[in-house]
Amino acid sequence: MNIKEVADQAGLPAKTIRYYEDIGLVRARRGANGYRQFDATDLHKLAFLARARALGFSIEDCRALLALYEDKGRASADVKQIAEQHITQIEEKLAQLQSMHDTLTELARACPGNNRPDCPILSDLSHLGMDEKKGSTKDPI
Amino acid sequence: MNIKEVADQAGLPAKTIRYYEDIGLVRARRGANGYRQFDATDLHKLAFLARARALGFSIEDCRALLALYEDKGRASADVKQIAEQHITQIEEKLAQLQSMHDTLTELARACPGNNRPDCPILSDLSHLGMDEKKGSTKDPI
DNA sequence: ATAGGGGTTCCAGTCACGGGAAGGTCAAGG
DNA sequence: CCTTGACCTTCCCGTGACTGGAACCCCTAT
């Protein structure tokens, strides 16, 4: 299989697969013409990666998961630990977003949205954000 | 005020303020020694930016919001529209994360987390992800 | 005079790719 | 045989919103 076929079947752009090879996440044999050659095993790994990435695992998580995936004697506890860490991260992110959402929704609700310049949203934003600690703007959405 | 003082009061790293100047989001006068000089108005703008960024508005959103903030005759509807677009984005992100969370939680629940190699998480990941459309791995967490 | 804690610029790196250029390869059709 | 068009290759640049670090200047206090 050439890259496009495996890409389509795994559900990843070809560019991404080349990138994954670049960073050592996958390897690919080369044909006589220099083209990458993939087989069913490669396809499985790439599909694995596609699914893991879609579930929000970082590349480094994926690297660890792939290693466990290939280690037939791994303990399921190891996998579960990675998953649970990731779940915790997702929960933190959810809480953050939910809080943003609530604040913004309340501000938008209070805003008449008319032609006059009085705007509760701008009023809120213009308050000094003393309650936000330095660096709190990191990693927004 | 020099940059560190305004940075501490606005709740932003000094580096970020220099960056904001770089991209034309704010401007700063310079003293005879070449140091940036900030006054209360600058502080307000920076605090405004800190708060808006903390609420997840993009830099470009912030640029628009700042322009409206400085335009005393703006219509509140304009601000509201930006906020509502942003709320919609947040809602999409929330839904995505929630879906990831549910899936992972279910997989983790089904995983015994013991020393044996059977792991529902890896089993799930190793299925061909045909249901995920190409590019679905974009913008994870 | 010196030590420290500011300040300045510029360059590089982050993360996970995506876009696009320049050029090689392959199968099918005229 | 030649061309067309789809594919493949590598390489480099750009993204967003910063962050870290180097190399250097300035100001105040001891």
Are A122 and B44 an interchain contact pair (Cβ–Cβ within 8 Å)? Answer: no
Q: What's the confidence (pLDDT) of residue A128?
A: 53
Q: What's the confidence (pLDDT) of residue B129?
A: 44
Are A56 and B126 an interchain contact pair (Cβ–Cβ within 8 Å)? Answer: no
Scanning every strand, the nucleotide with its C1' closest to B34's CA turns out to be C8
For domain A3-58, give the fold. Answer: Multidrug-efflux Transporter Regulator; Chain: A; Domain 2 (1.10.1660)
Contacts of B75 in chain A (CB under 8 A): 114-117
Residue B53 CA to residue A137 CA, distance in Å, equals 6
Contact in structure between A117 and B74 (CB atoms under 8 Å): yes
Q: What sign results for the dihedral spanned by CA atoms A27, A30, A35, A37?
A: negative
Q: Which of A100, A105, A127 to probe by mutation at the B interface, max B CB count within 10 Å?
A: A100
- pLDDT tens digits, one per residue of B59-97: 999 999 999 999 988 999 999 999 999 999 999 999 999
Half-sphere exposure of B24 (CA within 13 A, CB side): 4
Q: What's the confidence (pLDDT) of residue B133?
A: 38
pLDDT in tens, chain A (141 residues): 999 999 999 999 999 999 999 999 999 999 999 999 999 999 999 999 999 999 999 999 999 999 999 998 899 999 999 999 999 999 999 999 999 999 999 999 999 999 999 899 999 998 754 443 333 344 444
**Mean pLDDT across B95-114:** 93
Q: What's the confidence (pLDDT) of residue A131?
A: 42
For domain B3-56, give the fold. Answer: Multidrug-efflux Transporter Regulator; Chain: A; Domain 2 (1.10.1660)
> Given a cut of 60, is residue B112 above it in pLDDT?
yes
* SS3 assignment, position A130: coil
Contacts of A81 in chain B (CB under 8 A): 113
Q: What's the confidence (pLDDT) of residue A71?
A: 92
Q: From its phi and psi, is residue B56 left (phi > 0), alpha (psi between -120 and 50) or beta?
A: left
Predicted confidence band of residue B128 (pLDDT cuts 50, 70, 90):
low
Distance B135 CA to D11 C1' (A): 23
Nearest to A57 by CA among A74, A75, A81: A81
Nearest to A121 by CA among B73, B24, B68: B68
Are B115 and A44 an interchain contact pair (Cβ–Cβ within 8 Å)? Answer: no
- pLDDT tens digits, one per residue of B5-57: 999 999 999 999 999 999 999 999 999 999 999 999 999 999 999 999 999 99
Distance B15 CA to D24 C1' (A): 17
Contacts of B80 in chain A (CB under 8 A): 108, 111, 113, 119, 121
